[in-house]
Amino acid sequence: MEVIIAPSAGEASAQAARITASLIRRKPRAVLGLPTGTTPLVFYDELVAMHTRGEIDFSEVTTFNVDEYAGLPPDHPQSYAAFMRDHLFSRVNIAHWRAHMPNGMSPDIAKHCEAYELAILESGGIDLQLLGLGADGHIGFNEPSSSLGSRTRLKTLTEQTIRDNARFFASPEEVPRHVITMGVGTILDARRCLVLAFGAQKAAAVAAMVEGPVTASCPASALQMHPSCALFMDEAAAAQLQRADYYRWVYANKPDWQRA
């Protein structure tokens, strides 16, 4: 795992966006795995800015989002479909039929999850998966104790995640209790993974992900086994890393072609 400690969340997001843009320029029909939440907002703004300047074209890009609330229609303001429309899809030239979201209103969620996995395979697989890191070490909605070989499925949210997400709703009671999420195994199938983690509240999860054992108690730790994973963080998120100075030294001494 490549560990990149940036001076700020903005610079970390910009580095991840540059990697994504480089992939799209090399492979116009790239397949991206995309997250939601506050963590990737600057990342999406950077992609939009590059598109606006004519530096990247999304017309042939295919995307698969990591998760969606079960029971929320796509026009609900707190659905992740609405989030993606607001922050990326309505701002770039991606074809709507290439932008895939889990369907939280599916009458048969188990079959829908199987179909979602099949659609990823039929697209050629995900070239680059972007992820945010949860404060408890979750990726997607794979909460602690999730199987490290799991596939897209229905998950029940923990009380902590419900409390964390309640700020987006009028009350905690309105937060859905279930989500559809890509599994850890689905995520690990991506050819490359980029993870973003910002703020002191993520420091313990960063340390567990990078320097702890590979364990279902920290689903993100499974990315230690991925052949091409980079973790981008700010200084606050790096605060509990035992080898932070080593990671800085390694990154500073990479050849230019290897830098993010």
Token pair for 254 = 């990479």
**How many domains, in total, are found in the chain?**
1
Q: How far apart are CA 194 and CA 230, in angstroms?
A: 5
Which SS3 state, helix, strand or coil, does residue 58 take? coil
Cβ neighbours of 189 (radius 10 Å): 18
Q: What is the pTM of this model?
A: 0.95
SS3 15: helix
- What pLDDT, on a 0 to 100 scale, did the predictor assign at position 260? 62
Q: What is the model's pLDDT at position 46?
A: 98
Q: Residue 24's closest CA among 63, 58, 64, 65?
A: 58
pLDDT value, residue 170: 87
CA-based nearest residue to 236, from 204, 209, 214, 211: 204
> What tokens does 69 get?
């609330």
Residues of the chain with pLDDT under 50: none
Beta-carbon contacts of residue 227 (< 8 Å; ≥ 6 apart): none
Q: Tokens 């029940």 label which residue?
A: 156
pLDDT of residue 80: 97
Q: Which residues belong to the active site?
A: 67, 136, 138, 143
Q: Give the domain range for residue 208.
A: 2-258
Report the CATH number that the domain containing residue 45 is assigned in CATH.
3.40.50.1360
